[in-house]
Amino acid sequence: MNQPDLRVNLAGIAMKNPVTVASGTFGYGPEYADLIDLNRLGAIVVKGVSLNPCPGNPLPRIHETPAGMMNAIGLQNPGAKAFIKTYLPFLANYDLPVIVNIWGRTIEDYEGVAELFEGEPGVAGLELNVSCPNIKEGGNSFGTHPDLFEQVISAVRKKTTRPLLVKLSPNVPDITVFAKTAEQAGADGLSLINTLPAMAIDVETRRPRLANVVGGLSGPAIHPVAVKLVWEAARAVNIPIVGMGGILDPEDALEFIIAGASAVAVGTATFHEPTTVLRIIEGIEEYLLRHHLKSIAELRGTLKTGAR
Amino acid sequence: MNQPDLRVNLAGIAMKNPVTVASGTFGYGPEYADLIDLNRLGAIVVKGVSLNPCPGNPLPRIHETPAGMMNAIGLQNPGAKAFIKTYLPFLANYDLPVIVNIWGRTIEDYEGVAELFEGEPGVAGLELNVSCPNIKEGGNSFGTHPDLFEQVISAVRKKTTRPLLVKLSPNVPDITVFAKTAEQAGADGLSLINTLPAMAIDVETRRPRLANVVGGLSGPAIHPVAVKLVWEAARAVNIPIVGMGGILDPEDALEFIIAGASAVAVGTATFHEPTTVLRIIEGIEEYLLRHHLKSIAELRGTLKTGAR
Amino acid sequence: MNTQLEKAIIIKNEPWTPEYYLLEFSAPGISQKAAPGQFVHVKIPDRRDILLRRPFSIFKAESGTLSILYKSVGRGTRHMAKLHAGQAVNLLGPLGKGFPIPDTNKKTLLVAGGYGMAALYLTAARAQTPGLLFAGGAGKKDILCAQDFTALGWDVRLATEDGSCGTHGLVTNILDAWQARNGKSSEPELFACGPMGMLKAVAQRAKEWNCTAWISLDHYMACGMGACLACVQKINRDGEERLACTCKEGPVFEAREIIWEES
Amino acid sequence: MNTQLEKAIIIKNEPWTPEYYLLEFSAPGISQKAAPGQFVHVKIPDRRDILLRRPFSIFKAESGTLSILYKSVGRGTRHMAKLHAGQAVNLLGPLGKGFPIPDTNKKTLLVAGGYGMAALYLTAARAQTPGLLFAGGAGKKDILCAQDFTALGWDVRLATEDGSCGTHGLVTNILDAWQARNGKSSEPELFACGPMGMLKAVAQRAKEWNCTAWISLDHYMACGMGACLACVQKINRDGEERLACTCKEGPVFEAREIIWEES
Ligand SMILES: Cc1cc2nc3c(=O)[nH]c(=O)nc-3n(C[C@H](O)[C@H](O)[C@H](O)COP(=O)(O)OP(=O)(O)OC[C@H]3O[C@@H](n4cnc5c(N)ncnc54)[C@H](O)[C@@H]3O)c2cc1C
Ligand SMILES: Cc1cc2nc3c(=O)[nH]c(=O)nc-3n(C[C@H](O)[C@H](O)[C@H](O)COP(=O)(O)OP(=O)(O)OC[C@H]3O[C@@H](n4cnc5c(N)ncnc54)[C@H](O)[C@@H]3O)c2cc1C
Ligand SMILES: Cc1cc2nc3c(=O)[nH]c(=O)nc-3n(C[C@H](O)[C@H](O)[C@H](O)COP(=O)(O)O)c2cc1C
Ligand SMILES: Cc1cc2nc3c(=O)[nH]c(=O)nc-3n(C[C@H](O)[C@H](O)[C@H](O)COP(=O)(O)O)c2cc1C
Ligand code: FES
Ligand code: FES
């Protein structure tokens, strides 16, 4: 039988398959390059980059939870210029669309970093991480306040011609409000979900497990939450969606696609098993073959919710 | 050494220890009474009761997830009158405060069920489940819309003299807004968290795992989310809090207490191991002894967040 | 009620057919109380990510030993297949209302598919007089324990869809054939456990033949104790339509009571 | 880089001291490449709720066999203690930059606490000339493998806080004593692995004695590959202050480079 067509055009980013990696879990490219052939990925989403270097949070930065983990890395990164100098040339060696996850603490920060990447041919698209507090607006998160959310997307949209994905925060009562706002503000696609706000305490010392007190929960524990949000968002907008949150097995990725995602990203599972992303690609292909589907597009958004 | 004092006065409800059960996971009392001595519980919170009987959702109603489960029971219950007739006399045989979890689809529903329990001496308190859509207001959930939320609490407050706990939905960007609103509207205490909205798909059939499509995620998977919300709520209000969500081990319960909860409720873990609630009580006592704490009050809200 | 929690020790856990495993426990408490058609709720040991217990019909229960026949189908049963003798497993049971004692004035007909043969074994073992077992499946591999019934002196009739064993066809075909030949001479009482399609077909027969059929239902369960309402079945009992917990009032219901969902 | 994923087969998993276990694998790939002070990142088998791998220093590595000494302290290591010979365990390694080859112009002094003795063994085994091992702990049970060093011809000096073995006191006391007596005659080179307090004390000595100390740090890790930034340590290298991944640029750093956090 013919191999199914795994290709996806994600908001203008040509992916050879629908599988990428979640920002912050795969570094900037070189980290896993000796274990995993990067040419096999549909795309790479690099760790969040900001205009200026950022030292991140004090240690401990991670804590394991049942079927999940919490992190409060604090978006440590070398800054956009160092990223461009150190990592873009490395990534240029691969046949691999590079999606740069960007963030800031003010709208100007976001604009600045988006602008910097305009001149970089090695960048296929931008992913806007809006789960940061706006330090000018009293620390309200860009990702959970509709006004700030709209403003930051509109601002960045004016500064970039690249495909622009907006990464949604799961921490809202109605994801469709944010999905639609992003679409209207000019987003070319959505990524979801980011981590769930969480906390853990060492009861012996009565101290938080993370130096930052609060962190983001990821991993299989949150997968059912992510599937629900992807399904709701996919029905609310006409732009493509990258589904992520807790993918460990191919079935987890397929759930996102059936719920309406065009692509998926593997995050925390890479720490468990670095080859997960490859196993997901293979598993999706095997599934399409077994179900006689000619392309991934034939599977997308085909959830049957009618009477049983 | 002396036994530590485990007693808690929860908004006027005298509990012999800080451990109760989460609504919907322990039935109405008789179900587990042959396996567990109900007299050992700090209180019982019964399955949600509405003014009229409710048939609940079609099957399947549950689905297991990594370190968690989803349910969409649909609040099946025999109605308040049948509950009063069948279960209150049974519960009267025990030295056990009975907290009745109530819900409705309109404000009038809520008022009606609260009023019904006014005449019942066997009821120690009410727990208001606000995670239901208001059918009159276009299906907006009482629990995530501040206005509806305030209205339903104020309305019920007028109808009941009993200690009134309000059970918060986790699905909001800022729990302190709802915690404070509840306090101002007359709540005597808060319960949190309810389940996280979630969804799962059978990729072979491409059907939702639950007939209701969407369900609520519970179990250890959500514990770190719950701890964060309890901690935030506890610092925002002066009324006591019942912490719940994913308790499996005594440490999980202790985290809630250190984060500021006055009591805790064991939910999904009862399905895994029916005696969990007893093991939690014993574990808390053992911890207090080991840490030379004379009472549970000495532990409450003692999280140390200062420099390490 | 005599449900208890018991720390059972595995005596044996081994392949029984190409697809099923026999798991034998030392469980003096539960095995002594077990009645035909009841089940145990098994906590998957060492796997705290697998929160829910798994329900399995009690196959045999005698002199302190309890056994189940299970098929490895998902993450819980796959893990069960790795357990070995000497390990402790926490059981909750016996649970549910099983099959009644067969009416000696009637002809006892057991109808089984899949694990149904295990679920019906104790009914046969404890019946006063042997009856007939009609068992079916897709193929030979689905016939679990015909020899155990034969050893009890029961008349075992088999049917497989691929014809690899017994009559070629559905188990209801051979049941119908029996009825056509013997239905007039003796009133049957049916006891059925198996896939939903088979159960519905048996209930249909009971209606047509105007006889009693006891049907064991298989719904997803969380608590097993009637507390969570995961497993309800709409029934009509004493003229009242209501939802009954399969785990507590079932898994066995009289066919007439069951209000089947359309599907 | 020569890090690989390897399906290692357990040869042996048995108590080594009252608190530590020896876990020996057949792992031809990683064992061949392993250098002193490197570690492996162990996937806990059969426990998908335990997502993160666990880092353990490589104890011995020869002829295809790799071993670690681990203490059962939490849910991962508790599960490891249940593994048995023949089981497969996925290892990621060898990871990190370990200890350099001891400078033969200096006196090689190893300083160990807890699992530090395991982490330092290969340094001793592969050193050109034997040096001294100073090992300490709360009590005798914390002295892991003195005999392995003695067998290599190393001079082993022990100290325990309860005096149950060796000198009564801290390991730094016996180190100081040595230095007071021999510090003038030969320049020491220190290699240390153990609890944070001990490491800081050793770094302090290195500063006072103006000698080189190689310090192996123990931070929580997720990826082990320099990708997640969970494990960073602030260092000053070549005049530049920056955050280095302990898993990749460490776990071993020169004491002078390390910028210790206040605590
Ligand atoms: C009263 C009763 C008696 C049973 N007796 C037997 C028996 O004797 N032998 C046997 O092989 N099987 C029996 N089953 C079915 C058995 O419970 C399931 O095959 C088993 O739970 C599957 O678990 P899993 O983890 O491998 O599958 P998964 O699909 O991973 O399970 C996920 C969840 O779905 C539930 N589930 C999946 N399939 C079923 C099913 N068919 N019925 C109920 N719940 C299910 C599981 O319990 C679990 O909660 C019985 C079921 C019931 C309700
Ligand atoms: C480079 C390195 C080498 C090590 N070598 C050894 C060794 O040879 N022998 C040995 O017994 N131990 C060693 N450790 C410590 C060992 O990794 C931890 O004891 C182990 O991870 C605890 O796992 P757990 O699941 O039992 O504990 P849990 O407390 O349940 O673990 C929860 C999480 O915290 C992490 N964690 C807990 N304690 C530590 C710790 N001390 N250091 C780092 N992470 C921790 C775990 O890895 C896991 O992610 C080493 C640590 C590092 C960083
Ligand atoms: C260690 C770690 C670091 C992360 N860093 C970022 C980041 O820099 N930017 C971002 O948008 N998301 C970041 N995330 C979130 C992930 O990209 C992803 O949205 C989330 O982890 C859910 O997917 P998962 O469950 O598969 O890990 C990070 C997650 C982890 C675990
Ligand atoms: C099967 C099931 C039924 C529930 N029914 C109710 C209910 O009727 N009313 C309510 O307020 N919460 C209900 N809940 C939510 C629980 O009370 C609790 O808030 C939630 O499960 C989190 O706790 P846990 O993780 O310990 O289960 C139900 C939960 C489950 C699993
Ligand atoms: S399984 Fe909980 S009520 Fe039947
Ligand atoms: S553990 Fe991930 S960077 Fe070191």
Ligand 2 neighbour D253 (Cβ under 6 A): no
> Residue A136's pLDDT is what?
78
Please compute, for residue D16, the number of CA atoms within 13 A of its CA located in the half-sphere on the CB side.
Answer: 24
Ligand 1, atom 17: closest residue by C-alpha: C55
For chain A, the 3-state helix, strand and coil shares in percent, each to the nearest 5, are 35, 25, 45
CB contact under 8 A, B66 and D49: yes
| Cα distance between residue A270 and residue A255, in whole Å | 19
CA B36 to chain centre: 19
What does the pLDDT read at residue B299? 98
Question: In C, which residues are within 8 Å of B26 by CB distance?
Answer: 227
- Contact predicate B299/B293, CB 8 Å: yes
C221 lines ligand 5 (CB under 6 A): yes
CB contact under 8 A, D229 and A61: yes
Question: Looking at this protein, which amino acid is placed at residue A16?
Answer: K
Pocket of ligand 1 contains residue C74 by CB under 6 Å: yes
Closest CA–CA distance from residue C78 to any residue of chain A (Å): 16
Residue C24 has what pLDDT? 98
Chain A residues touching B205 at Cβ < 8 A: 304
Query: Given this model, what pLDDT does residue A140 score?
Result: 75
CA nearest ligand 2 atom 28, residue: D74
Please work out whether the CB of residue C218 comes within 6 Å of at least one atom of ligand 1.
yes
| D51 Cβ closer than 6 Å to some ligand 2 atom | no
> Which stretches of D1-64 are assigned E, i.e. beta strand?
4-15, 20-26, 39-42, 54-57, 60-62
pLDDT at C263 over 60: no
Which tokens hold the place of B109?
């529903």
Quickly list H helices, A124-205: 146-159, 175-184
CB atoms near residue A83 (< 10 Å): 23
Distance CA C184, CA C199 (A): 23
Q: How far apart are CA C131 and CA D4, in angstroms?
A: 63
Q: How far from the centroid of its chain's Cα atoms is residue D134's Cα?
A: 14
pLDDT of residue D125: 96
Same fold, C4-95 and C107-257: no
What is the secondary structure of B144-204 as a DSSP string? T-HHHHHHHHHHHHHH--S-EEEEPPS-SS-HHHHHHHHHHTT-SEEEE--PEEEE-EETT
Any idea which of A34-48, A112-126, B124-138 has the lowest mean pLDDT? B124-138
The tokens describing D52, both together, are 């993160």
Asked if C220 and B66 come within 8 Å (Cβ–Cβ), the reply is no
Ligand 6: centre distance to CA A245 (Å) = 20
Between residues C262 and B244, the one the model is more confident about: B244
Predicted confidence at residue C171, as pLDDT, reads 94
In this predicted structure, the answer to whether residue A132 has a pLDDT above a threshold of 90 is no
Nearest-angstrom CA–CA distance, D18 and D24: 18
Instruction: Report the pLDDT averaged over residues A39-59.
Output: 97
Q: Which of A203, A255, A287 sits opposite B251 (nearest CB)?
A: A203
Predicted confidence band of residue A307 (pLDDT cuts 50, 70, 90): low
3-state helix, strand and coil shares in percent for chain D, rounded to the nearest 5: 25, 35, 40
User: Which homologous superfamily does the CATH classification assign to the domain defined by B8-298?
Assistant: Aldolase class I (3.20.20.70)
Q: How far is the CA of D115 from the centre of ligand 6 (A)?
A: 20
Mean local confidence (pLDDT), C129-146: 94
Q: Which of D67, D218, D232, D233 to mutate to test the pocket of ligand 2 (most atoms within 8 A of CB)?
A: D218
Question: Mean pLDDT, to the nearest integer, of C207-211?
Answer: 94
Q: Do D49 and C46 touch (CB under 8 A)?
A: no
CB C221 less than 6 A from any atom of ligand 1: yes
Please provide the size of chain B in residues: 308
Domain boundaries of chain D, sorted by first residue: 4-95, 107-257
Q: Please compute, for residue D174, the number of CA atoms within 13 A of its CA located in the half-sphere on the CB side.
A: 25
Asked whether B40 and B278 are in contact (CB, 8 A), the reply is: yes
Band (B308; pLDDT cuts 50, 70, 90): low
Instruction: Read off the tokens for A269.
Output: 């599972």
According to the model, what pLDDT value does residue C193 have? 98
Q: Reduce the DSSP state of residue D123 to 3 states and report it.
A: helix
**Chains near D (3 or more Cβ pairs under 8 Å):** A, B, C
Verify whether ligand 1 is closer than 6 Å to residue C253 (CB atom). Answer: no
Decide: helix, strand or coil at residue B201.
Answer: strand
ipTM: 0.97
Class of residue D256 by CB neighbours under 10 A (exposed 0-12, middle 13-18, buried 19+): middle
What are the Cα distances from residue C121, in Å, to B250, C99, C126, D245?
A: 42, 11, 9, 62
CB D201 within 8 A of CB D172: yes
pLDDT in tens, A175-195: 999 999 999 999 999 999 999
**What pLDDT is stored for residue D262 in this prediction?**
64
pLDDT of residue A138: 72
Q: Decide if B19 contacts B297 (C-beta within 8 A).
A: no
A1: pLDDT confidence band, cut at 50, 70 and 90? low
Residue tagged 């059912």 (tokens):
A224
Beta-bridge partner residues of C93:
C4
Q: Which of B31, B69, B76 sits opposite C243 (nearest CB)?
A: B76
Among B81, B85, B75, B58, smallest CA distance to B133 is for B75
Question: Domain segments of chain A: what residues?
Answer: 8-298
Indicate which ligand has the atom closest to the C-alpha of A130. 3
Beta carbons of D225 and A67 less than 8 Å apart: no
The pLDDT of residue B1: 58
Interface A-B: count of C-beta contacts within 8 A:
146
Average predicted confidence (pLDDT) for chain D: 95
Q: Give the closest of B67, B307, B308 to D49, CB-based.
A: B67
Q: Which of chain D's residues have a Cβ under 8 Å away from the Cβ of B67?
A: 49
Residue B140, pLDDT score: 75
The CATH code belonging to domain C107-257 is: 3.40.50.80
Please compute the mean of the pLDDT values over residues B193-221 and round it to a whole number: 97
Catalytic residues of A: 132
Contact residues for D167 (Cβ-Cβ < 8 A; gap 6+): D157, D158, D159, D160, D173, D174
Residues C110 and C124: beta-carbon distance below 8 Å:
yes
Average of pLDDT values for A249-253? 98
Give residue B306's pLDDT band: very low, low, confident or very high (50, 70, 90). confident
Dihedrals phi, psi of A204, to nearest 5 degrees: -75, -40
For residue D214, name the pLDDT band (cuts at 50, 70, 90). very high
- Report how far residue D126's alpha carbon sits from residue D103's, in angstroms, rounded to the nearest whole number: 12
pLDDT at A139: 72
Secondary structure letter of residue C101 according to DSSP? P
Chain B hits for C232, CB-CB cut-off 8 Å, are 56, 59, 61, 76
Q: Which ligand lies nearest the alpha carbon of A65?
A: 2
Helix (H) or strand (E) holding C214, with range, is strand C212-216
Give the pLDDT confidence score for residue D71 in this predicted structure.
Answer: 96
Which chains touch B (3+ CB pairs under 8 A)?
A, C, D
Catalytic residue among B72, B100, B130, B132: B132
Q: Residues of A with CB below 8 A from B304's CB?
A: 205-207
- Say how far residue D20 (Cα) sits from the centre of its chain: 14
Distance C230 CA to ligand 5 centre (A): 5
Contact between D101 and D184 (Cβ < 8 Å):
no
Contacts of D49 in chain C (CB under 8 A): 47-49
Q: Which ligand is nearest to the CA of A216?
A: 3
Q: What CATH code would you report for C4-95?
A: 2.40.30.10
Query: Cβ(B141) to ligand 4 under 6 A?
Result: no
Q: What is the DSSP string of C132-154?
A: EEEEEESSGGG---HHHHHHTT-
Q: Give the one of B34, B69, B273 whose C-beta lies nearest to C1's C-beta.
A: B34
Side-chain-side CA neighbours of B89 within 13 Å: the count stands at 4
Rg (CA), chain A: 18
Mean pLDDT value across chain A: 96
